[in-house]
Amino acid sequence: MKGGGNMVTELPILLDRSTGEPLTAQLSRALRAAILDGRIARDEALPGSRALARTLGVSRGTVVTAYEQLLGEGYLSAHPRRGTVAALELPADAGAGPAAGTDRPASGPVPEIWADLAPGHPSTRGLADPAWKAAWREAAAQAGNAWMPPAAGTPELRAAIAGHLRRARGLDCGPDDVVVTAGTSDALLLLALALKPADRPLRIAVEDPGYAAARRVLRTAGAHVQPVPATADGMDPDLLRALDPVPDAVLATPSHQYPLGGRMGVQARVDMLAWAAGHGTVVIEDDYDSEFRHARQPLPAMASLGAAGTTVLVGSFSKTLTPWLRCGYLVATGPAGEAVRRTRTALDSPVSGVQQQALAHYIDSGALARHTARTRREYAHRRSLVLAKLGKLPGVALGALDGGLHATVRFDQPAAPVIEAAAREGILVAALADYAAAGEPANGLVIGYGAPTDLALSRALGRIAELIAGAGEG
């Protein structure tokens, strides 16, 4: 059983059908333990799903689901010729940092980053599956086109996105309401240009703390950004209504406030839309990670609350698939939608036709929904690691864990020394203070748990816990 390139010949696994625990969970745990304690060595091939299913007396689907879980966690990888093999990204003696109980900085050169816990990065390990490859092959095999893609996007992708939003977000929209974008930044730039009044800069209210990249894009487009203090549940409605002059647009993250992580209640949404309609203000809903809810079901999109023409929904495939695509969409109706389509026509489409067709095939085949379900389970497991490693530390408050791919970590001691010490040991995390626009910066960390493997995440969180505890003792 030892040595790279071998096949696992003996895999003693006992499944207990009397406990009520799903067999898939038992099998995943048993395989994970076998890899961690060395009974399955790196690069050893596991039995095929059918063979293991026969050995254990379970359905093949049980084995496939367990393998997919461990593929996503980074314990396994799919090899084109040898099937599923054990794969640990970190050697057994790497990445652990100083011994437990010490808080001395690493000496010598700055180590290579081995745990990037900066927020905003999804897991892409299970993306290149047969459905993904088939979608791109089908798109590439289509006859070449002598014309540029339609400015608003290909009809196939716009129809696929509209269908996806009806199923996933309860949004009653059609293909003509959808405009394909090159990600969220492109969508915000497009909106800043389209909604700008003829005689002055666009005035847009944003959450504080909030998404710093969005503020940068809007300011680059010439917009006047008006920060409004926000809690985890969103903007303070009284402070929003008190703005003078009234903003032309409001940018909000109601499904999962970024970075604090709460969600805006239905009454607050209705009240904001009513206020916006009364003042001719457009509400831009950034729906960046609503697909990943861990504690509560997502609320419907604000655009589904009967406010036609008042809202614009902005979404992307950066979190569900990969930011490498640089592809997203917005949904706009009424005068705002007409202005957006005019501006997009003037600028042309920034997304290649081949990419749009591949995404349309991928969505229509049901592969996007299946991939999202797989990664949702993966992220829920990573979330449990965050809770296990940091949730019981004295004086530490965790937030933003109802959904998404990140957590906030609040504590009394200054966060900067903890962040700097972690970086010296090859662990990257973000400062909660960096998300402030105009208000008092909050103290704490923002930790992304989407991209690292379970092994890297667990080791990094353990070291962060030691650093926080050490800061408290100092």
Give the span between the Cα atoms of 331 and 346, in whole angstroms: 18
pLDDT at position 145: 77
Task: State residue 384's pLDDT score.
Answer: 92
Tell me the whole-structure pTM to 2 decimals: 0.78
Would you state the pLDDT for residue 200? 96
Tens-place pLDDT, residues 130-180: 999 999 999 998 867 778 899 999 999 999 999 999 988 888 899 999 999
Rounded distance between C-alpha atoms, residue 432 and residue 326, angstroms: 26
Of the candidates 324, 316, 365, which has an alpha carbon nearest to the alpha carbon of residue 130? 365
Q: What is the pLDDT of residue 104?
A: 36
pLDDT band at 389 (very low <50, low <70, confident <90, very high): very high
Q: What is the pLDDT of residues 313-367, one digit of tens each?
A: 999 999 899 999 999 999 999 999 999 999 999 999 999 999 999 999 999 999 9
- Listed residue (279, 280, 278, 281) closest to 252, CA to CA: 281
pLDDT per residue as tens digits for the range 207-250: 999 999 999 999 999 999 999 999 888 898 889 999 999 999 99
Q: What is the pLDDT of residue 101?
A: 35
Kindly list the strands in the beta sheet with 328-332, ordered across the sheet, starting from the edge strand earlier in the chain.
Answer: 178-181, 328-332, 311-316, 282-286, 249-252, 203-208, 224-231, 234-235
Task: Give residues with Cβ within 8 angstroms of 64, minimum separation 6.
Answer: 49
Task: Provide the CA 50 distance to its chain's centre, in angstroms.
Answer: 33
Residue keyed to tokens 């915000």:
188
Rounded Cα distance between 140 and 62, Å, is 34
Is it the case that residue 424 has pLDDT exceeding 80?
yes
Task: Give strand pairing partners of 179.
Answer: 330
Tell me what pLDDT residue 304 has: 79
Residue bearing tokens 């254990």: 56
Rounded-to-5 percentages of helix, strand, coil across the chain: 40, 15, 45
**Dist. CA 238–CA 50, nearest whole Å:** 61
Q: What is the pLDDT of residue 38?
A: 75
Confidence at residue 276, expressed as pLDDT on a 0 to 100 scale: 94
What is the percentage of the chain residues whose pLDDT exceeds 90? 56
Spatial distance between the Cα atoms of 40 and 54, rounded to a whole number of angstroms = 20
* Mean pLDDT in residue range 113-141: 91
| Residue-wise pLDDT tens digits, 53-106 | 888 889 998 999 888 878 766 778 887 777 888 875 444 443 344 333 333 334
Domains of the chain: 23-86 (1.10.10.10), 130-365 (3.40.640.10), 369-473 (3.90.1150.10)
pLDDT of residue 106: 40
Q: Using alpha carbons, list the distances in angstroms from residue 147 to 144, 153, 158, 259, 287.
A: 9, 13, 18, 41, 32
Tell me what the mean pLDDT of segment 259-286 comes to. Answer: 91
* pLDDT band at residue 9 using 50, 70 and 90 as cut-offs: low
Q: What pLDDT does residue 270 have?
A: 87
* pLDDT given for residue 228 in this prediction: 96
What whole-number distance in Å separates Cα of residue 76 and Cα of residue 66? 10
Average confidence score pLDDT of the chain? 87
pLDDT at 407: 96
DSSP strand pairing (234-235 vs 224-231): antiparallel
Mean pLDDT of 118-127: 88
